[in-house]
């Protein structure tokens, strides 16, 4: 251990401010991504005056599920207006902010190595909790305050750039949907409908190749899973690759350029995007369905946008929730799902407009992916500074 490492307990202390005067009813939880989020707990009839009152500059963490999640949900509260968190959370502050920068400390908490160390310290129960004393024993490097600020500025520059690119993508998607509504919805336009089976040359999902996760390769053929498919956006995070032998097992679900990818199971059911060219060669597993428009009438962007529209999203969710206890859509249901079919010229005009905008979304997504790598690299280098 380097000499400039200090135990956390030297720099932080517990605080316990209660919502005794019921300053706010905004209840927050903490995600495993270390962000505050609206609490999913049912607090109807709960005495919120017992909850802990958190304000700007304070930290909170949920110590109870580290063994289960292999992460410590911990976050720095940065908003001006106060909120409340569970009485079971640890809430703490930095003792001397001239010695330890709060954003620098939060960077340390984001390191995978920090979560791994917390996981090793769990108490052995079913869920696996961590104690305050254990947290305080974890050590971190504390360079000069000026150096901490330099590191934070570098990290913040990357974070701000990521936020900018995500905002650009939100605006691009909003533009695509606005064009779609203007061309096909507004003005009371009514078009004939057709089931997707008539519009697509292929509709089908794959499987998990034999060998499972342990056989995934660092490179090779991409295996697209539900975690990669979002509305209008493909996520490269955790993109799996399989060997040529495993890819041969899925030869019936070879992904081609301009294929529409559609999630058919679980919490991500009905999410839909177009496969980026740089993901190919690729296959899909059992949770993702390929929709391949017929070449006689290219309409990938039209189908994607139509399936992502609020009206059709509601219909598809209704289908997914009508069967078993798990939300799912099967091949027959997908094939029989009908959508409006405008004249070919109108669809072609939309394809041209949407393609240009969507290509910008892909470029931004690729940049976000590179920035995320830079972020993780900066975090990994903290221990050597």
Q: Percentages helix, strand, coil for the chain, rounded to the nearest 5?
A: 45, 20, 35
pLDDT at 2: 53
Give the pLDDT of residue 295: 78
Q: Which helix (H) or strand (E) is 197 found in, with range?
A: helix 196-199
pLDDT on residue 336: 95
211-215 long-range contacts, Cβ below 8 Å, gap at least 24?
211/242, 211/243, 211/246, 213/240, 215/242, 215/243, 215/246
pLDDT at 123: 64
> DSSP secondary-structure letter at 264?
-
Which residues in the chain come in under a pLDDT of 50?
1, 214-215
Q: Identify any residues that bridge with 138 across adjacent strands, giving them in sequence order.
A: none
What pLDDT does residue 90 have?
Answer: 95
Q: Would you state the pLDDT for residue 337?
A: 96
């Amino acid at each position: 251990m380097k000499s400039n490492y200090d135990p956390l307990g030297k720099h932080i202390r517990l605080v316990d401010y209660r919502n005794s005067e019921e300053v706010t009813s905004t209840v927050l939880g903490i995600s495993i991504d270390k962000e505050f989020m609206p609490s999913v707990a049912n607090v109807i009839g709960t005495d919120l005056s017992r909850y802990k009152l958190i304000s700007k500059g304070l930290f909170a963490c949920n110590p109870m599920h580290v063994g289960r999640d292999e992460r410590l949900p911990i976050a720095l509260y940065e908003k001006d207006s106060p909120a409340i968190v569970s009485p079971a959370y640890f809430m703490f502050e930095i003792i001397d902010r001239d010695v330890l920068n709060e954003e620098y400390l939060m960077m340390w908490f984001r390191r995978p190595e920090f979560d791994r160390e917390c996981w090793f310290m769990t108490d052995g129960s079913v869920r696996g909790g961590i104690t305050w004393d254990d947290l305080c024993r974890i050590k971190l490097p504390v360079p000069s305050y000026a150096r901490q600020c330099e590191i934070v500025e570098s990290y913040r520059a990357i974070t701000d750039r990521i936020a900018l690119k995500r905002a650009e993508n939100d605006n691009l998607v909003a533009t695509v949907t606005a064009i779609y509504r203007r061309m096909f919805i507004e003005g009371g336009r009514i078009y004939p409908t057709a089931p997707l089976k008539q519009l697509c040359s292929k509709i089908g999902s794959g499987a998990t190749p034999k060998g499972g996760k342990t056989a995934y390769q660092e490179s090779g053929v991409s295996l697209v899973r539900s975690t990669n498919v979002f509305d209008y956006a493909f996520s490269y995070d955790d993109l799996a690759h399989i060997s040529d032998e495993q890819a041969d097992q899925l030869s019936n679900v070879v992904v081609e350029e301009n294929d529409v990818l559609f999630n058919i199971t679980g919490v991500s059911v009905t999410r839909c995007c177009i496969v980026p060219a740089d993901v190919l060669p690729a296959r899909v597993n059992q949770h993702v369905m390929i929709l391949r428009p017929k070449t006689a009438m290219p309409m990938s962007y039209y189908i994607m946008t139509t399936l992502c529209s609020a009206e059709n999203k509601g219909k598809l969710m209704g289908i997914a929730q009508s069967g078993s206890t798990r939300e799912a859509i099967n091949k027959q249901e997908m094939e029989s799902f009908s959508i409006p079919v405008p004249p070919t010229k109108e669809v072609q005009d939309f394809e041209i407009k949407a393609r240009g905008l969507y290509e910008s979304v892909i470029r931004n997504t690729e940049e976000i992916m590179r920035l995320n790598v830079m972020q993780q690299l900066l975090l990994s280098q903290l221990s050597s500074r």
